[in-house]
Chains A and B, each alone.
Chain A
Amino acid sequence: MSSSVVALTIISGIVAVGSCAGFYARSHHKMDLEQWTVGGRGFGVVLVWLLMAGEQYTTFTFLGASGWAYSKGGPVLYILAYQPLMCVVAFYILPLISEIGRKHRLQTQPDFFQVRYGSRYLSAFVALVGVVSLLPYSQLQLTGLGLIVEVASFGGIHRTPAMIIAFTIVAAFVFVSGVRGVAWVSIIKDVLLLGAAVFVGIAVPYMYFGGIGPMFAALARAKPSHLTMPGATADLGHGWYISSVLLTSAAFYMWPQFFAASFTARNGNILRRNAIVMPLYSITMPLMFIVGFTAVLVLPGMSDSNLALLTIVRKTFPAWFLGVVGGAGALTAMVPAAIQLLTGATMFAKNLCRPILAPGMTDQQVGWLARIMVLVLTAGAMLLAIHSSATLVSLLLLGYDGVAQLFPGVVLGLFSRRVTTSGVFAGLATGISITAALILTGRDPYHGLNAGFIALCFNFAVTGLVSLVTPVHAGELDATLFAVSTSENTEGASLT
């Protein structure tokens, strides 16, 4: 058997086992919309952890982190900083969001805006921002998956058929099993990815330099400026670092899928404990960087930095191992993509279509529309991926900075009674416009600062100012959210 056949067989095997786990998850549960989107709100600390960790490490972190270490150097450290810091943000806001979610039986992020601000137009706007931001993100997973198959087959299989097959599988298990399926596939993916990352991160520098220490010593001698900021870039300095770390740690749990993951938890304390241990999971990230840094010396001059990790694995190890890494990478693309599709589809059906276009729909019809939308969004992401262009990375940034603009509405909404619907609407619109204007005209970073961060500052300011001059309407939440409650213990009672 040729190396490409070996590698591809192993990748397909891993994908097949993962998919079976996804389908199997269905067998114990009746799949209504509640079960499909938030797993019946019965997940304990282990499943929530797996789900959140599983969604968080996408193929962009897997291929992108080593690629950034390779092509940009020092600025890649921002990834290492935002990962623990977003857990800090999660620690304070997710338990509150989760408790509101349980009380009001929320399933999606726009549902939260609906009950907090009592406006279906704001909620639909949030859903629209979410769906539009998610599309390029799922598309990026697809592209990553295509790259993996292309490298593993030594160029023998074109990425398009590979993407079509893999995403048919993803759409199928999301369609059938919903969020539970995704959580179980995460387990397989995490074990594989952890194993592969630890092994590759330690073995690759060892084989070329005799260890991680000697590799860094050699790199510091050969390219002294590569390891600090701005590294190999012109404008990613300390101002950019601080603004990006702040923006990303604020934005992360504003992704509708991560936001909604907090609804799967059985109670708020599970989320707090989860946030405490989550930074430890990021320990695999430095290993990805190390592979990228090693590639700087071993494989200089690669044109596509996203291929750094896979190429060095292919060059260093036997084909079966490339298969294992590729399989881990494929699941790393499929799990987040599945969640993204599920979230986008649910938001579209429940928060955009029903309240605005067809108020008469029953819950069951919404459930079916959501499932059909999974297929539509998959097809959409597929088309984008096949006709991809060089501006895709900026589209992803746009998505990231776009969801970040939801932060003021969520945080001010949780902590202040004074913030108003018009305030949040105006702030969000301002933030989105500034983000789009700066990124689409190629001004990111702008004056050494992250463009989304600048937009977020304006967003906060506008939200605050407009809130001061408009009347308060806190929706249905007013009584529960801002009452000085001494009866916290009765909370579990509403759960039957």
Chain B
Amino acid sequence: MKRPSLRSILLGLIPFAGACFSVALWDRVYPMVLGLPFNFFWLISWLLLTPLCLWGAYRVDAPRTERPPREGSGTR
């Protein structure tokens, strides 16, 4: 059983830093961005940035867990 590597876990900590621990820095209304209060805009952008970080983590670990493709063995 392969555990995630340290590099991949560090990538996963980025969204926690950005959307959780740093709340005091971005919890404000102004400047409004795209018509949204700043805190609102900030968290919405993490909906897009989190997949990027995880995709990075996937790439870091992918070579380690790659299995032979199981094409043609569909269940239906």
B20-47, CB < 8 A from A: 20-21, 23-24, 27-30, 32, 34-37, 39-40, 43-44, 46-47
A227 and B23 CA atoms in complex are apart in Å by 14
B1 touches A99 (CB 8 A): yes
With contacts A227-B37, A282-B47, A286-B44 known, is A242 near B57, CB below 8 A?
Answer: no
Residue numbers in B under 8 Å from A269 (CB-CB) = 65, 67
Contact yes or no, A228 B75, CB < 8 A = no
Chain B residues within 8 Å of A91, by CB:
12, 54, 57-58
Looking across the interface, which residue of chain B has its beta carbon closest to that of A230? B27
A85 and B16 contacting across the interface, CB-CB below 8 Å: yes
Which B residues touch A84, using CB under 8 A?
15, 19, 46-47, 50-51
Query: Which one of A227, A280, A289 has the greatest number of beta carbons of chain B within 10 Å?
Result: A227
- Across-interface contacts of A238 in B (CB, < 8 A): 23-24, 27
Give the residues in chain A near B76, CB-CB below 8 Å. Answer: 28
Q: How many A-B residue pairs have CB under 8 A?
A: 140
A491 touches B28 (CB 8 A): no
| Chain A positions 88 through 109: 1 when the CB is less than 8 Å from some CB of chain B, otherwise 0 | 1001100110011000000000
A242 to B22, CA, bound (A): 9
**A269–B64 CA distance with the chains assembled, in angstroms:** 11
A92 to B43, alpha carbons, bound, how many Å?
22
How far is A365 from B5 in the complex, measured between Cα atoms in Å?
A: 43
A81-B40 in contact (CB<8A):
no
- When A42-B75, A269-B67 are in contact, do A88 and B50 touch as well, CB less than 8 Å? yes
A382 within 8 A of B: no
Q: Is the CB of A276 within 8 A of B20?
A: no
Bitwise, B50-70 to A at CB < 8 A (1) or not (0) is 110111011000000101101
> Across the interface, do B15 and A213 meet the contact criterion of CB distance under 8 Å?
no
Taking the closest CB of chain B, its distance from the CB of A305, in whole angstroms, is: 19
Residues of B within 8 Å of A241, CB to CB, are 20, 23, 27
User: CB within 8 A of A88: which of B3, B24, B54, B75?
Assistant: B54
- Against B, the Cβ 8 Å flags (1 = close, 0 = not) of A11-49 are 000000000000000001000000000001010100000
Which residues of A does B touch, CB under 8 Å? 28, 40, 42, 44, 74, 77, 80-81, 83-85, 87-88, 91-92, 95-96, 99-100, 211-214, 216-217, 220, 224, 227-229, 238, 241-242, 245-246, 266-269, 272-273, 275-277, 279-280, 282-283, 286, 289, 415, 480-481, 483, 485, 488-489, 491-492
Beyond known contacts A80-B44, A227-B37, A279-B48: 20 more, CB 8 A cutoff:
A28-B76, A40-B75, A42-B75, A80-B40, A80-B47, A84-B46, A220-B30, A227-B29, A269-B67, A276-B55, A279-B47, A279-B50, A280-B47, A280-B48, A283-B44, A283-B47, A289-B40, A485-B1, A488-B1, A492-B70
Q: Mark B residues whose CB is within 8 Å of A.
A: 1-4, 8-9, 12, 15-16, 19-21, 23-24, 27-30, 32, 34-37, 39-40, 43-44, 46-48, 50-51, 53-55, 57-58, 65, 67-68, 70, 75-76
Top 8 A-B pairs, shortest CB-CB distance:
A213-B35, A42-B75, A84-B50, A80-B43, A276-B54, A279-B50, A81-B19, A245-B20
**Can you name 20 A-B pairs with beta carbons within 8 Å?**
A74-B27, A77-B27, A84-B15, A87-B50, A88-B54, A213-B32, A216-B37, A220-B32, A227-B39, A228-B39, A229-B23, A242-B23, A266-B70, A267-B70, A272-B58, A276-B51, A276-B58, A488-B65, A491-B67, A492-B68
